[in-house]
Amino acid sequence: MYRHLLPLALAGLTAALCSSSTLAQAPTAATVATAASAPAAAEQQEWQLRRQRFLQTIKLLQANDALARREFERQVRAFEQRPFSLTPLEAMDYIGAVFVPQAGVEKLLPLVAAQAALGLYDAARFGSTLGEAQLVDIESFLRLPLTWTGPEQTERSRAFLRDHPERAAQLVQDGLKLANGERIGTDYDVRWVRALGRCAPEIAAGCPQPRDLPVSEWDDAWDKVKQRVAAYYRVEPKAVPAKAASAPDTPASAAR
């Protein structure tokens, strides 16, 4: 499915993005999240360095750096061709920084859901409790592709999920089916999550240890992940209070 989805979303996109203002607010929040990925003294994994290079490329692109423009195009094209070759957290950066701002959340929601499921699945099998908390709460992993460039992207994403709940739910299910096939044999190191939740040396002895979930429990973990992802991207307007039911101008409550 994604082999047809991404080329359509990317059509004419890369060149336009190089001069687009949609990236203006992006690096600040994302760079802060990246800086929190590991203690300063810890040796960073290849995926973390790769993620930093992508964020740095975007910052240089905003400064009209010609070399950064070519590097950005190369990185985006590589992701387009193999969207599951990077870790899910890296993929969420690409989706949020490049694809959702230009193509909209509806076209990208299956891929968002697929990457969300794969990331949580990796965390459930190989991450520590602290690492999973960092992924979800500090990196804002699940909402990252919907909020990457700031308030406008956040509101457009929220509006789609809120106003088209049935369509959104079906797209999420499409993404979960896609992820179910990808989880069998990934192109990235599924133990990437062990780079998250690492403690400073002075407190390492009491730091939660990474899981090593038995293979016999993987399917159960997957079922729980699917439920979690489906629930997260399901947004329902809050019920109108009975007293106000007849008031036509009562605004709908904002979703997540």
Q: How confident is the model at residue 89 (pLDDT cuts 50, 70, 90)?
A: very high
pLDDT at 36 > cutoff 50: no
pLDDT in tens, 97-106: 999 999 999 9
Q: What are phi and psi for residue 37, nearest 5 degrees?
A: -70, -25
Q: Among 112, 124, 120, which residue's Cα sits nearest to residue 174?
A: 112
Average pLDDT of the segment spanning 167-184: 96
pLDDT of 205: 81
Q: What is the pTM of this model?
A: 0.81
- The pLDDT, as a whole number, for residue 235 is 80
Q: What is the pLDDT of residue 34?
A: 44
Cα 98 to Cα 67: distance, rounded to the nearest angstrom: 18
**pLDDT score, position 243:** 52
* Higher pLDDT, residue 2 or 82: 82
| pLDDT for res 219 | 97
> Crossing angle, helix 105-126 and helix 165-182, to 10 degrees?
50
pLDDT digits (tens, 9 = 90+) for 191-211: 999 999 988 887 878 889 999
Q: Is the pLDDT of residue 238 over 50?
A: yes
Measured distance CA(9)–CA(95) in Å, rounded: 10
Mean pLDDT of 85-91: 97
Say how far apart CA 132 and CA 181 lie, in whole Å: 23
What pLDDT, on the 0 to 100 scale, is given for residue 242? 54
- DSSP class of residue 214 equals -
Q: Mean pLDDT, to the nearest integer, of 230-237?
A: 87
Single out the residue of 121, 134, 148 nearest to residue 39, CA to CA.
134
